[in-house]
A and B are shown apart, each in its own frame.
Chain A
Amino acid sequence: MVKEFQQAKWLEPLIFEIGGEGRIGHIVPNPDDEVKKEVGDIEKLIPEKLRRKDEPKLPELSEVEVVQHYTRLSQMNYGVDTGFYPLGSCTMKYNPRINEELASMEEVMWIHPYQDERTVQGALELMYKLERWLAEITGMHRFTLQPAAGAHGEFTGVQLIRAYHEYNGELDKRDEIIVPDSAHGTNPASAAMGGFKVIVVPSNENGCVDIEALKAAVSERTAGLMLTNPNTLGIFEERIEEIARIVHDVGGLLYYDGANLNAIVGKVRPGDMGFDIVHLNLHKTFGTPHGGGGPGAGPIGVTKELEKFLPVPLVEYDGEKYYLDWDRPHSIGKVKGFYGNFNVLVKAFAYILALGEEGLKTVAEISVLNTNYLVKKLKEIKGFELPYGKDKPRKHECVFSASPLKRDTKVRALNVAKRLLDFGIHAPTMYFPLIVHEALMIEPTETATKEQMDEFIESLRKISEEAYSNPEIVLSAPHNTSVTKLDEAMAARPKTLFLTWKMYLKKSSE
């Protein structure tokens, strides 16, 4: 039952290699004749030494060519709209189209952040209500909607940890943030960016935080702990309350990486587990599209104690009108311009409306149901094993290891991933978390159909058979994508490093 698949293969030239001299793809409005007359010679408006001498070397194309070029390129891309996308940790669920329609209303696209508040009451109301819903879902006191992505939320959260300890006069001595070895790379990177030393604690045989190691790691130097629950293995940290106590007892704060909220949304709240700061990825749990890598949104929720440190401005309501509150003396300031990725907020708002309290619970439950169905079936396939907490149910995702396959056949997780593409299925996340060798991290989400999952299972079964009987076909995959396996080493070698067309032309002329 595996699919026969062939992705579009256009051998599409670069935009610089097409077009024709004198063509134009869009006419910019021409100033009124009288405007021209009144202003006179515009050359004079810019001093000679600041004038651009040569036209930028942009291509010249008609509108038709631009549309065809990018349409073809889009056909050489794979999205949730194309098919099954079990990319672990990324929650590649369906992105409802109604949300796109609402986010492209003129009342979203054509409002300016510095408009008089009386003229943007609808936008402020939406932000205000969304904030309340997110607070309710997570059990936190207040949210800022400003961060542009998950990692940006983490950065903001780390700044809040700083502000809190600084306020208490303890920043000097609290210079460590603890992260588990299974953490996403953004966690240690965010902690370091915020000026902290990163202390890594190992996982135990169940894939959860090793409590003894954590006890040994905490001290009066601990500023906080960053954790995701369920963790990156898809396992719920059962002893989360104990973890919270250990960190709180030494005066540290608990940070929740909400990238994995999908399995518990509407059922279990990070605030009730003891977390002080929470980020959410609206582009994961709340159904907004990833756009090939963004824009997303990474709102940050905090306890009442930390509210005063949130970035400016916050949206407030005085009973009659919504307004922006900039007057927050303890605020960490800003983490980006303006108020956040508003059009993403609109989509998340519509998503929560569509699901409601009941529907969100169903989201969690079906995502967990789907994952455990995959676990059950994939365990039966030769060459794959499920390390850590073998008998524990998984939550939003599961992480298999292709180590046995590699040992027996030389076929690695990477090859399995590439071969899956040949069956028209996007690959799982590979080689993460780092504590699993030959990791394949699989997250079906609640929007997968049983039929898709069965096809995925069959495809993996077939790849296993191939690996044991005819490994070459797996090792040389992918075969059915727009291009065959690409040379990543060449791409990174200084001599053949081409990051722009300009760089390519220069190097090839040398």
Chain B
Amino acid sequence: MEKDAHPYIPNSPRKIRNTLLKEIGVNDISELYSDVPERLFYKGKLKLPKVHSEYEIFKQVRRMLKKNRTVLDMCTFLGAGVWPHYIPAVIKALISRGEFLTSYTPYQAEISQGMLQTLFEYQSLMAELLEMPVVNASMYDWASALGEAALMTNRLTKKKVFLVPKIIHPERFSTLKTYAESAGIKIVQVNFNRDTGQLDLNDLDSKFNEFRGEVAGVYIENPSYLGFLETQVDEVSDIAHRNESLLVVGVDPTSLGVIRPPGDYDADIVVGEGQPLGNPLNFGGPLLGIFATKDDMKFIRQMPGRIIGMTKSEDGKYRGFVMTLQTREQHIRRERATSNICSNEALCAVAAAIYLSLLGKKGIVELGKTILYNSHYAMKKLNAIDGVKAPYFKAPHFKEFLVTFYREGISVETVHEKLLEKGIHGGKNVKREFPEFGESMLLCVTEIHTKEDIDELVSAIKEIVEGGR
């Protein structure tokens, strides 16, 4: 084997290189870098690996990653923004097809109909789930989609305050602030009811008074970060619209087979996390930012991101799909674009489209029901333990809930540690974020948790809590 030949670089062998050099009319590749100032070339040896064979890569990366313990190895009850769901085998087989996997953003529509139609189907399937007529081809994730939504409410209303609940995912909140504050938008938090977690409507009213005429949008989440459902959606929607503000709703799409879709209570913009629809945990990325709005040109023109539209061939004979309304986007509008987003999370949207097609109208309802059953079973069993309260809030819940430990000497940390010893991974410790809820952990139960898994968790917690007596 020639020293320079590499499997990924077909023209690397000496003879081919020389042919090309000769054709160009230079003697050495260095002549093609003659315009680069000599002192800029790195002279030392870079601290990088040597060339590895595929087997060596296979072995080395596997050895490193095998140090991880997966949620399949230890029964895990973590959610909080990325949730464990089963991924049908069909999805991996289809999204691994090179025609999808190795294509770029479909700039040349006629040769990219496969990706374009699939993304149009993603937009359409999501539209049915959300009951929102317009959905874009994806954003990076829920958090950044929320940031973009705040910016969009500002463009639409020219107002500068964005109201969000105090109970919100801290990472989502931090991302929102990054996006909003540099655009001059002020983020203000609205109180919640201590017992139920529900938005405090009096405080919402008073925020509207305090910032009269300045509120661009009100944001609520359903289900909320801590798992409870916000039941006053119609009331919040009314208050927002009465004050000429927009309603932005964040969703977990797996809930929408059983829970009222945001389009039904007049949401102006919907964001959310599409990961649970056929996308793996992947240590938190890539994710799939959902972004939807109303069928109103005023809104559509202010949407960020790629949008696929259905059209016809110029001769009128065939249906086809193209990226449309591109005059909103950075490559045309530059500094006046609605967003800077270019690459998005297309392949994750493809996975979501396949997932929703597989489940269909019945399957998505079944999914919601199974999650309801399993999570409520877990709540009920945990709540029966002396010194444990689940859920913390007196409110309906979907798949996540706070479990609180009351017994003297039992901290979230102890429970977590002892569970781990038993090969179980508990939920997220939310003490730092919400100290007011005491020794609380956010548990997540989905369709992948069996009765045995839940029973095991319950008896482990019982043992830990009662053992601490």
Complex Cα–Cα for A272 and B12 (A): 27
Select the stretch in A12-20, A248-256, A461-469 that faces chain B.
Answer: A12-20
B259:A51 contact, CB within 8 angstroms: yes
Chain B residues with CB under 8 Å of A47's CB are 231, 396
Say yes or no for A436: interface residue by CB 8 A criterion.
no
Chain A proximity of B56: nearest CB distance (Å):
8
Closest to A57 in B: B128
Say yes or no for B369: interface residue by CB 8 A criterion.
yes
Place the interface of chain A in its size category: 35 or more
Complex Cα–Cα for A292 and B122 (A): 13
Chain A residues with CB under 8 Å of B188's CB are none
Complex Cα–Cα for A143 and B101 (A): 27
Say yes or no for A80: interface residue by CB 8 A criterion.
yes
A-contact bits for B16-44, CB 8 A (1 contact / 0 none): 11011101111001011111110011100
Chain A residues with CB under 8 Å of B169's CB are 337
B110:A484 contact, CB within 8 angstroms: yes
Q: When the two chains form the complex, which single residue of A346, A352, A369 contacts B32, counting CB atoms closer than 8 Å?
A: A369
Chain B proximity of A489: nearest CB distance (Å):
9
Interface centre among B9, B175, B286, B313 (most CB of A within 10 A): B9
A119:B425 contact, CB within 8 angstroms: yes
Chain A residues with CB under 8 Å of B414's CB are none
Chain B residues with CB under 8 Å of A87's CB are 104, 107
Q: When the two chains form the complex, which single residue of B29, B234, B376 contacts A368, counting CB atoms closer than 8 Å?
A: B29
- Number of residues from B at the complex interface, CB < 8 A: 213
Chain B proximity of A309: nearest CB distance (Å):
12
Q: When the two chains form the complex, which single residue of A25, A126, A155, A430 contacts B358, counting CB atoms closer than 8 Å?
A: A25
Closest to B337 in A: A189
Complex Cα–Cα for A335 and B137 (A): 20
Chain A residues with CB under 8 Å of B118's CB are 70, 73, 292
Complex Cα–Cα for A75 and B54 (A): 29
Complex Cα–Cα for A358 and B48 (A): 9
Chain A residues with CB under 8 Å of B74's CB are 119
Complex Cα–Cα for A72 and B114 (A): 8
Give the contacts of B242-284 with A (CB-CB under 8 A). 256-261, 280-284
B-contact bits for A1-25, CB 8 A (1 contact / 0 none): 0000001000110111001000111
Q: Given known contacts A70-B94, A492-B324, is B361 in contact with A241 (CB within 8 Å)?
A: no
Chain A proximity of B222: nearest CB distance (Å):
8
A369:B17 contact, CB within 8 angstroms: yes
Chain A residues with CB under 8 Å of B261's CB are 52, 56
Q: Given known contacts A105-B65, A269-B42, is B376 in contact with A39 (CB within 8 Å)?
A: yes
Q: Given known contacts A122-B67, A491-B324, is B171 in contact with A334 (CB within 8 Å)?
A: yes
Q: Given known contacts A28-B366, A185-B331, A502-B133, is B100 in contact with A58 (CB within 8 Å)?
A: no
B-contact bits for A48-87, CB 8 A (1 contact / 0 none): 0111110111111101001101111111111111100101
Select the stretch in B156-164, B212-220, B300-308 that faces chain A.
Answer: B300-308
A483:B29 contact, CB within 8 angstroms: no
Q: When the two chains form the complex, which single residue of B112, B124, B285 contacts A500, counting CB atoms closer than 8 Å?
A: B124
Closest to B306 in A: A293
Interface centre among B308, B312, B357, B359 (most CB of A within 10 A): B357
B314:A77 contact, CB within 8 angstroms: no
Q: When the two chains form the complex, which single residue of A58, A185, A267, A492 contacts B334, counting CB atoms closer than 8 Å?
A: A185
Chain B residues with CB under 8 Å of A334's CB are 143, 171, 174-175, 178
Q: Given known contacts A362-B6, A483-B113, is B88 in contact with A26 (CB within 8 Å)?
A: yes
Chain A proximity of B69: nearest CB distance (Å):
4
Q: When the two chains form the complex, which single residue of A194, A295, A487 contacts B347, counting CB atoms closer than 8 Å?
A: A295
A-contact bits for B46-88, CB 8 A (1 contact / 0 none): 1111111010111011101111111110101010111010101
Chain A proximity of B122: nearest CB distance (Å):
10
Chain A residues with CB under 8 Å of B325's CB are 492, 497
Q: Given known contacts A51-B259, A426-B111, is B336 in contact with A377 (CB within 8 Å)?
A: no
Chain B proximity of A11: nearest CB distance (Å):
7
Select the stretch in A131-139, A299-307, A400-408 that faces chain B.
Answer: A131-139
B360:A23 contact, CB within 8 angstroms: yes
Complex Cα–Cα for A77 and B381 (A): 51
Give the contacts of B429-469 with A (CB-CB under 8 A). 447-448, 450-451, 454
A-contact bits for B204-238, CB 8 A (1 contact / 0 none): 00000000000000000000000001010110000
Q: Given known contacts A49-B234, A102-B62, is B178 in contact with A159 (CB within 8 Å)?
A: yes
Q: Given known contacts A107-B70, A109-B282, A360-B48, is B102 in contact with A290 (CB within 8 Å)?
A: yes
Chain A residues with CB under 8 Å of B57's CB are 98, 102, 350, 353-354
B23:A373 contact, CB within 8 angstroms: yes
B-contact bits for A106-139, CB 8 A (1 contact / 0 none): 1111111111101111110110000011001101
Q: Given known contacts A15-B357, A109-B280, is B363 in contact with A67 (CB within 8 Å)?
A: no
Chain A proximity of B224: nearest CB distance (Å):
13
Chain B proximity of A38: nearest CB distance (Å):
6
A376:B25 contact, CB within 8 angstroms: yes
Complex Cα–Cα for A136 and B45 (A): 10
Q: When the two chains form the complex, which single residue of A7, A42, A119, A426 contacts B369, counting CB atoms closer than 8 Å?
A: A42
Interface centre among A112, A136, A158, A162 (most CB of B within 10 A): A112
Q: Given known contacts A338-B171, A355-B51, A366-B11, is B343 in contact with A483 (CB within 8 Å)?
A: no
A-contact bits for B380-414, CB 8 A (1 contact / 0 none): 11000000000000001100000000000000000
Q: Given known contacts A29-B370, A46-B258, A51-B259, is B314 in contact with A60 (CB within 8 Å)?
A: no
Q: When the two chains form the complex, which single residue of A104, A186, A291 contacts B92, counting CB atoms closer than 8 Å?
A: A104
B377:A50 contact, CB within 8 angstroms: no
Chain A proximity of B148: nearest CB distance (Å):
9
Chain A residues with CB under 8 Å of B60's CB are 353
Q: When the two chains form the complex, which single residue of A266, A447, A481 contacts B111, counting CB atoms closer than 8 Å?
A: A481
Chain B proximity of A256: nearest CB distance (Å):
13
Q: When the two chains form the complex, which single residue of A363, A368, A496 contacts B33, counting CB atoms closer than 8 Å?
A: A368
Complex Cα–Cα for A240 and B346 (A): 36
A56:B257 contact, CB within 8 angstroms: yes
Closest to B442 in A: A114
B285:A343 contact, CB within 8 angstroms: yes
Chain B residues with CB under 8 Å of A82's CB are 98-99, 102
A110:B70 contact, CB within 8 angstroms: yes
Complex Cα–Cα for A190 and B330 (A): 9
Chain A residues with CB under 8 Å of B356's CB are 58
A363:B9 contact, CB within 8 angstroms: yes
Closest to A368 in B: B32
Chain B residues with CB under 8 Å of A105's CB are 62, 65
Say yes or no for A509: interface residue by CB 8 A criterion.
no
Say yes or no for B138: interface residue by CB 8 A criterion.
yes
Chain B residues with CB under 8 Å of A352's CB are 48-49
B376:A45 contact, CB within 8 angstroms: yes
Chain A proximity of B310: nearest CB distance (Å):
4
Closest to A116 in B: B420
Interface centre among B99, B285, B362, B447 (most CB of A within 10 A): B285
Chain A proximity of B294: nearest CB distance (Å):
11
Say yes or no for B191: interface residue by CB 8 A criterion.
no
Q: Given known contacts A58-B129, A122-B66, is B46 in contact with A136 (CB within 8 Å)?
A: yes
Say yes or no for A150: interface residue by CB 8 A criterion.
yes
Say yes or no for A95: interface residue by CB 8 A criterion.
yes
Complex Cα–Cα for A342 and B280 (A): 11
A486:B311 contact, CB within 8 angstroms: yes
Say yes or no for B287: interface residue by CB 8 A criterion.
yes
B128:A78 contact, CB within 8 angstroms: no
Chain B residues with CB under 8 Å of A342's CB are 282-286
A148:B67 contact, CB within 8 angstroms: no
Complex Cα–Cα for A25 and B20 (A): 52
Q: When the two chains form the complex, which single residue of B35, B102, B365, B377 contacts A238, counting CB atoms closer than 8 Å?
A: B35
B135:A500 contact, CB within 8 angstroms: yes
Interface centre among B105, B336, B340 (most CB of A within 10 A): B340
Q: 10 pairs across A/B with beta carbons < 8 Å?
A: A45-B372, A51-B260, A122-B64, A236-B36, A290-B102, A290-B103, A292-B105, A332-B178, A337-B172, A349-B61
User: Which 8 pairs of residues, A with B, have the shortest CB-CB distance?
Assistant: A338-B284, A81-B98, A291-B347, A77-B114, A113-B284, A295-B286, A79-B102, A293-B346
